[in-house]
Amino acid sequence: MELKGKCAIVTGGTRGIGKAVALALAREGCDVAINFRKSDDEAKEVVSEIKKLGRKALAVKADVSSFKDAQNMFEEVKKAFGHIEILVSNAGINKDGVIWKMTEEQFDTVITTNLKGCFNYNKLAATYFKDKRYGKIVNISSINGIRGKFGQTNYAASKGGEIALTKSLAKEVGKFNINVNCVCPGMVRTEMAASIPQEFLDKACDETVLGRIAEADDIANVVVFLCSDKSRHITGGIIKVDGGQYI
C-alpha cells in the first residue's frame, strides 16, 4: 500500500469528492481525519467505512472558514494519531448568480468558505510539515477557476485564488521537502451536481472530449497519486481532471 503509516486530513470529507478521496487514501493504508460542520451522521458513516478498511478514522466538528476551528482540528488529529503527513483541502460551496443579482452575502460566504478555508488549512499544514521537513498538500480547485464561468464570479474567483495560493505556497515550502499541488476537476457526478438541471449536465458532457462526466473516484485516484512519493518531483502543479472539458 502506497500510504501505509501516513495520516491525512481531508476537509469536506463527508460526501462527494471529499468522501471518495478519504476512502481512496484509506485503501492505500492511510489513517484519515475528516471535518464536518452539520452533517454528523454522514461523518459517522464515512468514519465507519474507513475503519472497515482497517484504518484509523476521526471526524472533527470544524467550520473550515474559522481559523480557530482549523487549529482545533489539527490539535485533535495530532493527539489522536500522533502525526500528520497529508492535507487535502477540498471543502467548498457555491452560491451562483450573475453579478448584478449576486448579493454581498453570496460573494462573501463563497470566498470565505472556499478561499479562506483553503488558506486556514494550508497555513497550519505548511507550518507543521516545515518542521518535519516532509508533507503533501493537495488543494481541490476547479477548471472554472482557470477559465471562469457564467454565473459564478464568486466561485470562480475563489477557485482561481486557490490556484494562485497553491503556486505561491509551493515556492515557499519546496526547500522543506513539501509538495503542494492543485487538482482542477470539471463536472463531477456528486450530490452537488444532482441539483443541477439536466440540460446543464448534458452541456458539460458535450464539452468533454471523452463524452462523459467524471465520477468522484476519477478525482480521488489523482489525489492519491499526488499524496504518494511517486509524485515526489511534482509541485506547484495545476492538474485538470476534466475529460478534456477545458480544452
pLDDT in tens, 118-167: 999 999 999 999 999 999 999 999 999 999 999 999 999 999 999 999 99
Asked if 234 and 10 count as a contact pair (C-beta separation under 8 A), the reply is no
Looking at residue 199, its pLDDT comes to 81
pTM: 0.96
User: How does residue 200 score in pLDDT terms, banded at 50, 70 and 90?
Assistant: confident
Residue 195 has pLDDT above 80, yes or no: no
Asked if 130 and 145 count as a contact pair (C-beta separation under 8 A), the reply is no
Domains defined along the chain, listed by start: 7-241 (3.40.50.720)
In the Cβ-directed half-sphere of 237, how many Cα atoms lie within 13 Å?
Answer: 20
Looking at residue 131, its pLDDT comes to 97
What does pLDDT average to over the chain?
96
100's grid cell: 448584478
Question: Looking at residues 212-240, what average pLDDT do you find?
Answer: 97
Of the candidates 153, 172, 170, 167, the residue with the CA atom closest to the CA atom of residue 104 = 153
Residue 191 has pLDDT above 80, yes or no: no
Q: Can 246 be counted among the known catalytic residues?
A: no
244's grid cell: 478534456
Question: Looking at residues 184-204, what average pLDDT do you find?
Answer: 83
Catalytic residue among 128, 134, 155, 246: 155
Distance between CA atoms of residues 20 and 217, nearest Å = 6
Residue 184 has pLDDT above 90, yes or no: yes
Residue 194 has pLDDT above 90, yes or no: no
pLDDT in tens, 16-38: 999 999 999 999 999 999 999 98
Q: What is the CA radius of gyration of the chain?
A: 17
